[in-house]
Amino acid sequence: MAINEQTLASMREIVARYPQPRSALLPMLHLVQSAEGEVTTDGIAACAEVLGISPAEVTGVSTFYTMYKRKPVGEHHIGVCVNTLCGLLGGDAVYEALSERLGVGHNEPTADGKFSLERIECQAACTHAPVMTVDWEFMDDVTPTSALDVVDRLSRGERVESTRGPVIRNFQASEHTMAFPDDGLAGEGISVDAKMLAGLRYAKEHNMAAPRSGQEG
């Protein structure tokens, strides 16, 4: 299905933010996913036309970054970090529990289209390992039990709050936020907690500071 005029207008709005139009491609691809649920061939063509580049160039970017999906994503995207720290602290067990409950593997949607599951190499949240994201919102310090509880609650249509951020919406809503971050949700939830600030607190208590430029060593 061709990209509609409203989405095309939003693409042009994104392009207008940047001095170099091509710089707008990443948020434009998130916009395509918010509208289509995946990066479609029509979405690639629309991005190329608006930016004045080839579809092959857009395809190259969309296949390089794992956040862009070339097949339909479930209503909720579940990402489980299985990198070294998260894996050692239980990330692999979390992923296996979810895979068994949902009946899907890596980058696969459930039969009912409710969820997609992904093994993610790093989510840049090692302080709270093991970490899971739901529609790119953090669920920190998860266990197999707590991860399954999140999925069960979402299946029942219950309200689920992320650990650091807004209430869970759905994949396409989160993708729209990736395209247009100023959505009024930045102040929702807790963004930083005591665990994340432990290093800074220790440094202040011990009068520690980074060396000034040119004084390293």
- Position 214 scores a pLDDT of 66
Residue 213 lies in a domain: no
Residue 188 lies in a domain: no
Residue 96 lies in a domain: yes
Residue 200 lies in a domain: no
Residue pair 53/105 in contact (Cβ under 8 Å)? The answer is: no
* Average pLDDT estimate for 17-22: 95
Rounded Cα distance, 150 and 134, in Å? 9
Structure confidence at residue 196 as a pLDDT band (50, 70, 90): confident
CATH number of the domain where residue 126 is located: 3.40.30.10
Beta bridge partners of 167: 161
Longest dimension (CA), the chain: 61
Structure confidence at residue 187 as a pLDDT band (50, 70, 90): confident
Both 81 and 129 in a single domain? yes
* Average pLDDT estimate for 142-170: 96
CATH number of the domain where residue 30 is located: 1.10.10
Which comes out higher in pLDDT, residue 199 or 40? Answer: 40
Both 149 and 91 in a single domain? yes
Both 80 and 55 in a single domain? no
What domain count does the chain have? 2
Range of the domain at 116: 76-171
What are the backbone dihedrals phi and psi of residue 208, each rounded to the nearest 5 degrees, phi first?
-95, 145
- Position 211 scores a pLDDT of 85
